[in-house]
């Protein structure tokens, strides 16, 4: 007997970012030295004060279930962080604390997208938005920004032509994965105008907001007059605080949306882990210095890598945030990335996984020595 699976689950493939990083781990466990520039994960350990706060919380007995949407102390700290980002209209009642920003996004997609609803992505777009849209039954419309150095402002005209009263959801991610571009205030104003005109829900995924290099990444809700009922702000602890494995993120939205998304949270994960939430409070309140140090290190690596690739005639659009850059490669980016991992033992993610073929995404959350090694190996394998 062959087992039958749902039509819904068969709409999607496993996450490409995670699949490639898994492949790198398998090669490494076979004794191969792989330079892993695939997954978007800081190479730093979680700052000590955050780890200590988790241990203290565990010792104090914070090991049981918590309220599904999160402990009040963390929801308050998140509301304060959002106010610091210029989003002073969110209170703790507007927040759901989730096991990772991915779960927050998943809950929002499920809460707002019905079968056949139009979901608009700005390409290149992080791999999981597409999967979440498809799982919810959405129909994708994709707007390319690669031709405009990954900036949204010059592509606003295409966006305007694409959206209509039938558009249900638009996802904005600045600084963006996989390109690191930071959208201008004008671009975000354009988004808000369209959202207000056509009553579109907009997710502003701000998970890289605190990782920028000499510029500020404005928050959509802070610099525009977007209707607050249409705005969902998503953020998390994985990137800025080097807490990927802790699984902690959040969404902020209208109380109505919190009610709907909260149903899914309560029926699926119940809540984020209790002592991890306590550590999240410490992260938000006492970790600025460690974050600054990590961001300074990412910036040095970005500069080094852009210069190194330039020596090979590779013109990289310099990212202003996050820790990714798009390396222009052969048209068949899938084969290029396969060769890179199989022959040069350098793991990267093909641009086509993000809707933009012809590039490989390089995550530079890696030491300078390892990044130099990656470039040398790609050169030796004639891939540059």
Q: Count CB neighbours of 195 within 10 A.
A: 23
- The 10 Å CB-count burial string (b at 16+, else e) for 352-381 is bbbbbbbbbbbbbbbeeebbebbbebbeee
Q: Shortest gap between Cβ of 325 and ligand PMP (angstroms)?
A: 14
Q: Shortest gap between Cβ of 349 and ligand GLU (angstroms)?
A: 7
**Rounded to the nearest 5°, which phi and psi values hold at 174?**
-135, 125
Q: Shortest gap between Cβ of 230 and ligand PMP (angstroms)?
A: 19
Q: Which of 46, 151, 177, 287 binds ligand PMP (CB under 6 A)?
A: 177
Q: Which of 174, 224, 238, 287 binds ligand PMP (CB under 6 A)?
A: 238
Q: Which is nearer to ligand PMP, 15 or 274 (CB)?
A: 15
Q: Check residue 150 and give left, alpha or beta (phi > 0: left; psi -120 to 50: alpha).
A: left
Q: Shortest gap between Cβ of 211 and ligand PMP (angstroms)?
A: 11
Q: Which is nearer to ligand GLU, 338 or 379 (CB)?
A: 338
> What, of ligand PMP, ligand GLU, none, does residue 236 touch, CB below 5 to 8 Å by kind?
ligand PMP
- What burial class does residue 278 get, using C-beta atoms within 10 Å of its C-beta: 0-12 exposed, 13-18 middle, 19+ buried? buried
Q: Shortest gap between Cβ of 273 and ligand GLU (angstroms)?
A: 18
Residue found by looking up tokens 């290029």 in the block: 336
Binding mask 239-278 for ligand PMP (x = CB under 6 A): -----x----x-----------------------------
Q: Shortest gap between Cβ of 197 and ligand GLU (angstroms)?
A: 31
Question: Which run of H or E residues covers position 204?
Answer: strand 201-205
Q: How far is Cα 72 from Cα 67, in angstroms, rounded to an integer?
A: 8
> What, of ligand GLU, ligand PMP, none, does residue 350 touch, CB below 5 to 8 Å by kind?
none
- Record the tokens describing residue 226, joined without a space: 């977007």
The 3-state DSSP class for residue 139 equals strand
**Separation of first and last alpha carbons in the chain:** 49
> What, of ligand GLU, ligand PMP, none, does residue 18 touch, CB below 5 to 8 Å by kind?
ligand GLU
Q: Which of 21, 66, 167, 173 binds ligand PMP (CB under 6 A)?
A: 173
Residues 76 to 135 in contact with ligand PMP, rule: CB under 6 A = 100-102, 126
**Rounded to the nearest 5°, which phi and psi values hold at 316?**
-95, 140
Q: Which is nearer to ligand PMP, 190 or 236 (CB)?
A: 236
- Record the tokens describing residue 216, joined without a space: 């500020």
Contact set with ligand GLU (CB under 6 A)? 15, 17-18, 39-40, 102, 126-128, 177
Q: How far is Cα 326 from Cα 351, in angstroms, rounded to an integer?
A: 8
Residues 286 to 345 in contact with ligand PMP, rule: CB under 6 A = none
> What, of ligand PMP, ligand GLU, none, does residue 173 touch, CB below 5 to 8 Å by kind?
ligand PMP
Q: Which is nearer to ligand PMP, 180 or 339 (CB)?
A: 180
Q: Which is it for the CA torsion 240, 363, 25, 11, positive or negative?
A: positive
Q: How far is Cα 58 from Cα 64, in angstroms, rounded to an integer?
A: 10
Is residue 236 near ligand PMP by the rule CB under 6 A? yes
Q: Which is nearer to ligand PMP, 40 or 218 (CB)?
A: 40
> What, of ligand PMP, ligand GLU, none, does residue 39 touch, CB below 5 to 8 Å by kind?
ligand GLU
DSSP string, 44-72: SPPPHHHHHHHHHHHHTT--S---TT--H
- The 10 Å CB-count burial string (b at 16+, else e) for 81-97 is bbeebebeebebebbbb
Cβ pair 249, 277 in contact under 8 A:
no
Q: Which is nearer to ligand GLU, 17 or 69 (CB)?
A: 17
Position of minimal CB gap to ligand PMP: 100
Q: How far is Cα 376 from Cα 382, in angstroms, rounded to an integer?
A: 10
Q: Which is nearer to ligand GLU, 103 or 271 (CB)?
A: 103
Instruction: List interacting residues with ligand PMP (CB under 6 A).
Output: 40, 100-102, 126, 173, 177, 205, 207, 236, 238, 244, 249
């Amino acid at each position: 007997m062959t087992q039958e699976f749902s039509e819904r689950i068969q709409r999607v493939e496993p996450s490409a970012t995670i699949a490639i990083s898994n492949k790198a781990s398998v090669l490494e466990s076979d004794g191969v030295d792989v330079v892993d520039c695939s997954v978007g994960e800081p190479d730093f350990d979680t700052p000590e004060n955050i780890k200590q706060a988790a241990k203290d919380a565990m010792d104090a007995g914070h090991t049981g279930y918590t309220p599904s949407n999160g402990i009040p102390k963390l929801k308050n700290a998140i509301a304060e962080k959002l106010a610091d980002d210029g989003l002073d209209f969110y209170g703790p009642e507007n927040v759901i604390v989730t096991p990772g920003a991915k779960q927050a996004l998943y809950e929002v997609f499920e809460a707002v997208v019905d079968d056949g609803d139009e979901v608009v992505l700005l390409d290149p777009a992080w791999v999981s938005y597409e999967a979440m849209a498809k799982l919810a039954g959405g129909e994708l419309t994709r707007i390319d920004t690669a031709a405009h150095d990954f900036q949204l402002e010059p592509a606003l005209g295409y966006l305007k032509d694409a959206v209509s009263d039938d558009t249900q959801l638009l996802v904005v991610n600045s600084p963006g994965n996989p390109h690191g571009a930071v959208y201008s205030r004008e671009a975000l104003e354009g988004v808000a105008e369209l959202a207000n005109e056509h009553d579109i829900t907009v997710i502003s995924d701000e998970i890289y907001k605190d990782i920028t290099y000499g510029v500020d990444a404005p928050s959509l809700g802070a610099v525009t007059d977007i209707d607050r009922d249409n705005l969902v702000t998503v953020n998390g602890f994985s990137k800025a605080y080097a807490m990927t494995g802790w699984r902690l993120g959040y969404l902020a939205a209208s109380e109505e949306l919190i009610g709907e998304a909260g149903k899914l949270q309560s029926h699926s994960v119940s809540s984020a882990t209790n002592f991890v939430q306590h550590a999240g409070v410490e992260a938000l309140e006492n970790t600025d210095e460690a974050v600054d140090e990590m961001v300074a290190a990412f910036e040095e690596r970005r500069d080094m890598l852009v210069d190194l690739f330039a020596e090979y005639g590779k013109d990289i659009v310099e990212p202003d945030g996050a820790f990714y850059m798009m390396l222009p490669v052969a048209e068949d980016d899938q084969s290029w990335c396969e060769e890179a991992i199989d022959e040069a033992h350098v793991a990267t993610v093909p641009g086509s996984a993000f809707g933009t073929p012809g590039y490989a995404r390089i995550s530079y959350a890696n030491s300078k020595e390892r990044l130099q090694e990656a470039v040398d190996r790609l050169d030796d394998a004639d891939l540059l």
